[in-house]
């Protein structure tokens, strides 16, 4: 039996395998036989991309169906043909005929994507520039976007206003000559400096999150860090990326046990180290209820200007929430130098 419902972002299906069903039929074939206009290839991609659950878990397309299995499918609706301009306040750090340096706030998606077709940085930039952004490779939903930041990460981004600038800037990021540093607060007691290496790829248990994968099963990722300030079982780090993988800093820090403070997805939104009692417990509970997202900010950005070949360095202030957390840690969490 097939049940179907729609909302603004997804089309959802619910299937239950009846008693007596042949248990040799594959998951992808079974779904294809029920959904109108579905092709086997599209169904396989939906399964691999994490849009299909069998009894609450992700399975492979080759999974053999069993009587009583419950299949839940949530397919994203097709994107709009192109991003639309939207008026919004943007923190423009620098702008000329070739590029824009913008300080992205926390909780803003960079470009339209599933569940966020509007209200993104791209929508605001299209309005700000009167649609004067690069369109490399006929890109309609990511015009001007040379590199990205996670929705929950604030800080500096460079945006290209023409195709030549886009190509030159993209080359700098591909060849790792663009300079980027992040500031983050993490749980734990990391060494004064270090390098984290580990391929990053999608988690086989949850396709919505990333994890460190065995060699060859993800994309190579290298993260350098140094401690700028220590607190009681926490530290302020300066982080420099050698690569730019999805969620790289957050995943690498989790892998080493240095969870980014406030990071709900990767385990930083609870007390990870040190006592969780009395006034300390209350302080952290108050901080977690106050902050919007994790303490991770793209603080500096250095690029060679695509038109003048001049090296340009930009720096941004920490968001108010980040500053508040630092102030509370400095006041209430003096470092315990004995551990």
Q: Which of 28, 69, 98, 150 is catalytic?
A: 150
Q: Buried b vs exposed e over 264-294: b needs ≥16 C-beta within 10 Å?
A: ebbebbebbebeeeeebeebbeebeeebebb
- Asked if 96 is an active-site residue, the reply is no
Active site residues: 150
């Amino acid at each position: 039996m097939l049940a179907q419902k729609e909302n603004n972002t997804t089309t959802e299906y619910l299937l239950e395998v009846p008693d007596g069903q042949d248990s040799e039929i594959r998951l992808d074939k079974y779904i294809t036989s029920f959904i109108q206009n579905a092709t086997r290839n599209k169904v396989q991609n939906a399964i691999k991309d994490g849009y299909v659950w069998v009894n609450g878990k992700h399975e492979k397309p080759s999974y053999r169906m069993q009587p009583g299995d419950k299949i839940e499918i949530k397919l994203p609706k097709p994107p709009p043909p192109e991003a639309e301009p939207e008026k919004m306040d943007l923190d423009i750090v620098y702008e000329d005929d070739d590029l824009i340096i913008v300080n992205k706030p926390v909780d803003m998606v960079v470009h339209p994507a599933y569940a966020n077709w509007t209200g993104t940085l791209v929508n605001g930039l299209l309005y700000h520039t009167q649609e004067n952004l690069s369109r490399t490779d006929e890109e309609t939903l990511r015009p001007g976007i040379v590199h990205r930041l996670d929705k929950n990460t604030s800080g500096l981004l460079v945006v290209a206003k023409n195709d030549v600038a886009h190509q030159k800037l993209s080359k700098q990021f591909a060849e790792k000559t663009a300079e980027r540093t992040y500031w983050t607060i993490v749980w734990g007691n990391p060494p004064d400096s270090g390098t984290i290496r580990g391929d990053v790829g999608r988690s086989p248990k949850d396709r919505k999150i990333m994890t460190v994968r065995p060699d060859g099963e993800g994309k190579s990722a290298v993260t350098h860090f140094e401690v700028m300030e220590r607190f009681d079982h926490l530290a302020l780090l300066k982080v420099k990326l050698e690569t730019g993988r999805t969620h790289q800093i957050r995943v690498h820090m989790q892998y080493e046990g240095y969870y980014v403070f406030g990071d709900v997805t990767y385990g930083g939104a609870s007390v990870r180290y040190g006592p969780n009692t009395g006034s300390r417990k209350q302080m952290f509970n108050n901080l977690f209820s106050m902050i919007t997202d994790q303490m991770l900010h793209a603080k500096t950005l250095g690029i060679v200007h695509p038109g003048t070949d001049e090296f340009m360095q930009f720096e941004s202030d920490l968001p108010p929430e980040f500053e508040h957390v630092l102030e509370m840690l400095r006041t209430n969490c003096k470092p315990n130098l004995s551990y």
